[in-house]
């Protein structure tokens, strides 16, 4: 079903009270709900490369008004928030730090696990009081949760005071969605369940002026059986290299020191280009020539991580040798049911190649425990793989069934108690390995990009090493925004303490 058909399909039909489309009777304005089934389709729609501009009639819409966006989830969402902040500012709105004086509040949501969703529903409960007190306040839900029909239906039923719901493909439509919401008494729902476009020239208001995210591609075609992302973010589609390079050049000229290239599966970058043979390795190689101190990328998929990329990364310089390489499980059988499309052996071979080319490389990972029917032995294979690779750290999760994904339909004989116990055992290993790795830093000198005052002590500055270790140390405030050399004096459980030995040493 295309957007027009879905819109027509959701016209008022009061007699059809039992269908999901029930709620359409309340909406005269925009009612374009999501469909996970449509979102799953691939290959039918052409990717549209479009430019963004604010329509004349919406300019000044935000004069005298303030916006507040609360962001949940991954860096992609954080960056989407920077784009939406850019759009708000272009419309004349001003940012505010709290909900109390905001005229528009957006919840930019995450659907990756159930607890992420619960947090949002909890927050909506709190905001209800505010909305009652200030009926003119506009309240919106966007991000990955909006792409799920079950979520949209629940908001319609339980949180009807929400003014607008829009999806991940509709961010550039924010000006007209706001306009609709101001004009209409009804909830505005605009969620396209399409494969996705690439919109350029989006305005961005970045958090800080030291580190920046740059999108290189959108979507995911991997369809790992547990994951909702390919449904909420559409198909893999890459931004043209010239657009990315121009954005990075511009950021370098503005004085940014570190760039993280972003995508759900960055190793698939360029695979969708029909006119050029151009992948992540080519892109990293070209961007590394730009005068920017640090260059990272996330997130990698082991399946598409090729030798060319390893070769380029091994050149070092501003290409940092910290690689986040989600493994998910150490058992080939579980990896197969997860549809990860690599085996334990393939992963270990990839790690061997990376370490051979970059002996000091640090690796971090993501792991899911308690996938349906995971046996004790299979879980132990995850522990043994972790020991073998000696990851610097890991994000660990208990498997969370996501409606609409194949894994959610699998029977599961692993009790929650067992899953929790496995997570604890894995976390103990993660902590122990990480502490051991940090201990090795004592007495060494590292390059730290100073981000600002430490959260707990304004007398102390904090920043990150090339391998993303947080370092706290005493230094003049003038060091903020610089890369300085710090001698590590003490390793703590998760962070390092040190002393600055030299100011403003640019690596490069």
Which stretches of the chain bind ligand 5AD, using CB under 6 A?
A: 112-113, 226-227, 326, 328, 366, 368, 397, 399-400, 402
Phi-psi map region of 115: left, alpha, beta (phi>0 left; psi -120 to 50 alpha)? alpha
- The residue (of 31 and 397) whose beta carbon lies closer to ligand 5AD is 397
Count, in order, helices (H) and strands (E) of the chain.
14, 22
* 326 versus 330: smaller Cβ distance to ligand 5AD: 326
Give which of ligand 5AD, ligand SF4, none residue 399 binds (C-beta under 5 to 8 Å, depending on kind): ligand 5AD
Least CB distance to ligand SF4 at residue 222 (A): 4
Strand 164-166, strand 138-143: pairing = parallel
Q: What HEC string does 308-335 produce? A: HHHHHHCCCCCECCEEECCCECCCHHHH
What ranges in 412-486 are assigned the alpha helix state H?
416-439
Asked if 54 and 91 count as a contact pair (C-beta separation under 8 A), the reply is yes
Element spanning 95, H or E: strand 94-95
Residue nearer to ligand SF4 on the CB measure, 220 or 488: 220
d(CA 338, CA 316): 33
What sections of 254-397 are H helices per DSSP?
Answer: 280-287, 307-313, 332-337, 344-357, 376-389
List C-alpha distances in Å: 216 to 24, 39, 267.
37, 21, 10
Partner whose footprint covers residue 264, from ligand SF4, ligand 5AD, none (CB < 5 to 8 Å by kind): ligand SF4
Phi and psi based region of residue 444 (left: phi greater than 0; alpha: psi -120 to 50; beta: remaining) = beta
Q: 222 contacts which partner out of ligand SF4, ligand 5AD, none, CB within 5 to 8 A by kind?
A: ligand SF4
What is the closest distance, in whole angstroms, from the C-beta atom of residue 24 to ligand SF4 in the complex? 31
Dihedral class, residue 502 (left if φ above 0, else alpha if ψ from -120 to 50, else beta) = beta
Around Cβ 106, how many Cβ atoms within 10 Å?
24
Select 217 or 229, whichever has its Cβ closest to ligand SF4: 229
- Closest to ligand SF4 by CB, 24 or 215: 215
Interaction partner, residue 400 (ligand SF4, ligand 5AD, none; CB < 5-8 Å by kind) = ligand 5AD
CB of 223 to ligand SF4, least distance (A): 6
Closest to ligand SF4 by CB, 33 or 326: 326
Q: How far is the CB of 328 from ligand 5AD (least distance, A)?
A: 6
220 touches, from ligand SF4, ligand 5AD, none (C-beta below 5 to 8 Å by class): ligand SF4
| Among ligand SF4, ligand 5AD, none, residue 66 binds (CB under 5-8 Å by kind) | none
**Spatial distance between the Cα atoms of 341 and 75, rounded to a whole number of angstroms:** 25
| Closest CB 264 distance from ligand 5AD, rounded Å | 9
Taking the complex as a whole, the smallest distance from the CB of residue 132 to ligand SF4 amounts, in Å, to 38
Cα(329)–Cα(346) distance, integer angstroms: 12
**Rounded Cα distance, 450 and 470, in Å:** 10
Q: For ligand SF4, which is the closer residue by CB, 194 or 206?
A: 194
Phi, then psi, of 433 in degrees rounded to 5:
-65, -40
Pairwise CA distance, residues 196 & 169, whole Å: 6
What is the binding site for ligand SF4 (CB under 6 A)? 220, 222-224, 227, 229-230, 264-265, 301
Smallest distance, ligand SF4 to C-beta of residue 277, A: 23
Pick from ligand 5AD, ligand SF4, none: which does 402 bind, CB < 5 to 8 A by kind? ligand 5AD
Which residue, 175 or 372, is less far from ligand 5AD as judged by CB?
372
- Among ligand SF4, ligand 5AD, none, partner that 189 touches (CB below 5 to 8 angstroms by kind): none
Which of ligand SF4, ligand 5AD, none lies near 265, with the C-beta cut-off 5 to 8 A by kind?
A: ligand SF4
Both structure tokens of 84? 């939406």
**Shortest reach from residue 329's CB to ligand 5AD, in Å:** 10
Which position has the token pair 């990150």? Answer: 464
Residue 414 touches which of ligand 5AD, ligand SF4, none (CB < 5 to 8 A by kind)? none
Which of ligand SF4, ligand 5AD, none does residue 269 bind to, with CB < 5 to 8 Å depending on kind?
none
Q: Residue 218 or residue 226: which is nearer to ligand 5AD going by CB? A: 226
Least separation in angstroms between residue 118's CB and ligand 5AD is: 14
Q: Which is nearer to ligand SF4, 229 or 320 (CB)?
A: 229
Which residue in the shown chain puts its C-beta closest to ligand 5AD? 366
Check: CB of residue 442 under 8 Å from CB of residue 491.
yes
DSSP run (H or E) holding 130: helix 114-133
- Reference 218, options 166, 277, 171, 276; nearest CA is 171
Q: Which is nearer to ligand SF4, 194 or 233 (CB)?
A: 233
């Amino acid at each position: 079903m295309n957007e027009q058909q879905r819109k027509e399909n959701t016209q008022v039909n009061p007699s059809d009270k039992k269908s999901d489309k029930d709620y359409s009777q309340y909406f005269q304005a925009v009612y374009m709900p999501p469909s996970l089934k449509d979102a799953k389709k691939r290959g039918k729609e052409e990717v549209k490369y479009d430019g963004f501009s604010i329509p004349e009639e919406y300019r000044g819409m935000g004069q005298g008004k303030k916006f507040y966006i609360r962001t949940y989830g991954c860096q992609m969402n954080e960056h989407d928030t920077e784009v939406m902040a850019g759009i708000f500012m272009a419309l004349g709105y001003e940012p505010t730090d709290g909900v109390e004086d905001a005229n528009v509040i957006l919840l930019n949501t995450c659907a990756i696990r159930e607890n992420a969703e619960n947090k949002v529903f909890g927050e909506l409960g709190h905001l209800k009081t505010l909305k009652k007190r200030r009926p003119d306040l506009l309240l919106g839900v966007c991000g990955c949760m909006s792409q799920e029909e079950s979520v949209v239906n629940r908001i319609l039923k339980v949180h009807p005071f929400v003014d607008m719901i829009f999806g991940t493909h509709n961010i550039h439509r924010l000006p007209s969605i706001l306009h609709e919401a101001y004009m209409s008494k009804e909830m505005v729902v605009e969620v396209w369940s399409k494969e996705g476009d690439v919109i350029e020239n989006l305005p961005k208001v970045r958090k800080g002026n030291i580190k920046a995210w740059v999108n290189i591609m959108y979507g995911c075609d991997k369809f790992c059986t547990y994951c909702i992302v390919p449904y909420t973010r559409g198909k893999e589609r890459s931004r043209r290299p010239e657009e990315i390079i121009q954005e990075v050049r511009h950021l370098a000229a503005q004085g940014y020191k570190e760039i993280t290239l972003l995508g759900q599966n960055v190793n698939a970058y360029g695979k969708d280009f029909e006119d050029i043979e151009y992948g992540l390795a080519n892109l990293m190689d070209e961007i590394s020539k730009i005068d920017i101190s640090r260059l990272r990328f996330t997130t990698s998929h082991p399946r598409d991580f090729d030798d060319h990329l390893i070769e380029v990364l091994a050149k070092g310089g501003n290409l940092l040798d910290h690689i986040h390489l989600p493994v998910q499980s150490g058992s080939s059988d579980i990896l197969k049911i997860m549809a990860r499309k690599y085996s334990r052996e393939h992963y270990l071979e990839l790690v061997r190649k990376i370490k051979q080319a970059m002996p000091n490389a640090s690796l971090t990972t993501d792991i899911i425990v308690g996938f349906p029917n995971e046996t004790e032995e299979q879980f132990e294979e995850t522990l043994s793989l972790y020991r073998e690779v000696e990851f610097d750290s890991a994000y660990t999760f208990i498997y969370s069934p996501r409606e609409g994904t194949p894994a959610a339909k699998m029977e599961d004989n692993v009790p929650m108690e067992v899953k929790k116990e496995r997570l604890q055992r894995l976390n103990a290993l993660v902590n122990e390995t990480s502490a051991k790795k940090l201990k090795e830093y004592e007495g060494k000198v590292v390059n730290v990009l100073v981000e600002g005052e430490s959260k707990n002590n304004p007398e102390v500055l904090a920043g990150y090493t090339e391998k993303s270790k947080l370092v706290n140390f005493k230094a003049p405030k003038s060091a903020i925004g610089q890369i300085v050399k710090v001698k590590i004096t003490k390793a703590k459980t998760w962070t390092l303490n040190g002393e600055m030995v030299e100011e403003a040493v640019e690596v490069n």
